[in-house]
């Protein structure tokens, strides 16, 4: 199939090309994000392949249908950026990569926790400046702390296992509890999780129900000085409410690999530009905030799995088989 691949970087091309040796599709790599203004780049193709910050809304999908595109392949797990109702109405099949390396994301969440706790990001800069003072770098033992895990899919379960291995008391919330939660962990309701947790880590999808799950009321219900970690989707957290929590000291540590307005920021080099997002710029002023640019998935194993599953989905569709992982509205 002829596939227009949006939002591509060099690393995307490298891994997709390796996987495509066994699939034989014609892949055209496009650097722009998919929007209503760039959708026309897919004209003449059989399928479009998109990433987390591309937007396949009703307008885009109407254009795709007019071009004859019948397959939209997401090279990511989340699909909140796709209007599934419009896709169904236009007869466009949507496929995704539900699991690539859940270990990668869980390990990155742990990295944020440990780095914030021991102020590694600040210590690194100090030592490079010849400052070996320890004032302001005081941390705490993770052992014995209560960590609340919201969402116990594959990533959340791995996170739970890692945390219990560190000797943390793990409590979890999920509207669809997993049967294989580690024996040392237990499910509680959200109110209890907020009240008991020293650390709260988010591993749930972004849906209408979870949008701004962490808002002012939720933060007020948490312990003073709580550590909050988000490696899932940015809009799970009301950023302005989080800033107020940071200003008051109620949030003691904030680790983000995602941001609710990241579309115009992440995955691009903006180092020579003025920061136009005032909310994001405000986050960067706090010494107890650590942000990475949607890096949690970024391991060799994950990129290889994403490329293979994406192309396998496309191959199955091209051969008239059921794609491996379809998404319906």
Architecture field, domain 2-100+299-327: 3-Layer(aba) Sandwich (3.40)
Is 62 within 8 Å of 90 (Cβ atoms)?
A: yes
Residue 79: C-alpha distances to residues 13, 68, 132, 150, 279 (Å): 22, 21, 46, 19, 25
Mean pLDDT over 302-308 rounds to 96
Tell whether pTM > 0.85. yes
Residue 83: C-alpha distances to residues 57, 72, 197, 237, 266 (Å): 5, 11, 35, 22, 22
Give the span between the Cα atoms of 53 and 117, in whole angstroms: 30
CATH of 102-291 given 3.30.420.10, 3.30.540.10, 3.30.930.10, 3.40.50.720: 3.40.50.720
SS3 229: strand
Which runs of E-coded beta strand occur in the chain?
Answer: 2-5, 26-29, 47-50, 71-74, 93-95, 146-150, 169-173, 185-187, 199-202, 226-230, 251-256, 289-291, 326-327
pLDDT digit string, tens, across residues 186-200: 999 999 999 999 999
How would you class 199 by CB atoms within 10 Å of its CB: exposed for 0-12, middle for 13-18, buried for 19 or more?
Answer: buried
Confidence at residue 329, expressed as pLDDT on a 0 to 100 scale: 65
> So where are the chain's domains?
2-100+299-327, 102-291
Confidence at residue 328, expressed as pLDDT on a 0 to 100 scale: 79
Order of strands across the sheet that contains 199-202: 185-187, 169-173, 146-150, 199-202, 226-230, 251-256, 289-291
Angle between helix 120-128 and helix 102-117 axes, rounded to 10 deg: 60
- How does residue 86 score in pLDDT terms, banded at 50, 70 and 90? very high
CB atoms within 10 A of CB 258: 24
- Cross-strand bridge partners of residue 291: 256
- Cross-strand bridge partners of residue 289: 254
pLDDT digit string, tens, across residues 169-179: 999 999 999 99
Residue 172: C-alpha distances to residues 98, 146, 164, 181, 188 (Å): 21, 10, 12, 9, 6
Range name among 170-184, 237-251, 263-277 with the lowest pLDDT average: 263-277
Residues annotated as catalytic are 233, 262, 294
pLDDT digit string, tens, across residues 143-174: 999 999 999 999 999 999 999 999 999 999 99
């Amino acid at each position: 199939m002829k596939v227009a691949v949006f939002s591509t970087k060099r690393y995307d091309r490298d891994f997709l090309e390796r996987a495509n040796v066994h699939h034989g599709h014609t892949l055209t790599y496009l650097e722009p994000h998919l929007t209503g203004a760039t959708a026309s780049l897919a004209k003449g193709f059989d399928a479009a392949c998109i990433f987390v910050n591309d937007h396949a809304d009703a307008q885009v999908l109407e254009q795709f249908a007019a071009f004859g595109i019948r397959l939209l392949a997401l090279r990511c797990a989340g699909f909140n950026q796709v209007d599934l109702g419009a896709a169904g109405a236009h007869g466009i099949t949507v496929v995704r990569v539900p699991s690539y390396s859940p270990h990668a994301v869980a390990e990155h969440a742990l990295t944020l926790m440990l780095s914030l706790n021991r102020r590694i990001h600040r210590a690194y800069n100090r030592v490079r400046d010849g400052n070996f003072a320890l004032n302001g770098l005081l941390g705490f033992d993770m052992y014995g702390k209560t960590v609340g895990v919201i969402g116990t899919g594959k990533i959340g379960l791995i996170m739970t296992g890692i945390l219990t291995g560190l000797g943390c008391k793990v409590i979890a919330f999920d509207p669809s509890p997993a049967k294989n939660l580690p024996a040392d962990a237990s499910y509680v309701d959200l109110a209890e999780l907020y009240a008991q947790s020293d650390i709260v880590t988010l591993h749930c999808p972004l849906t209408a129900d979870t949008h701004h799950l962490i808002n002012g009321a939720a933060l007020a219900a948490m312990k003073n000085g709580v550590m909050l970690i988000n490696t899932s989707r940015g809009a799970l957290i009301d950023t302005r409410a989080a800033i107020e929590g940071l200003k008051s000291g109620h949030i003691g540590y904030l680790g983000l690999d995602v941001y609710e307005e990241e579309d115009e920021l992440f995955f691009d080099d903006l180092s020579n530009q003025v920061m136009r997002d005032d909310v994001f710029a405000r986050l960067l002023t706090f010494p107890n905030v650590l942000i990475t640019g949607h890096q949690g998935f970024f391991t060799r194993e994950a990129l290889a799995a994403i490329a293979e599953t994406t192309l396998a989905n496309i191959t199955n569709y091209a051969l008239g088989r059921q794609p491996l992982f379809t998404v319906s509205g």
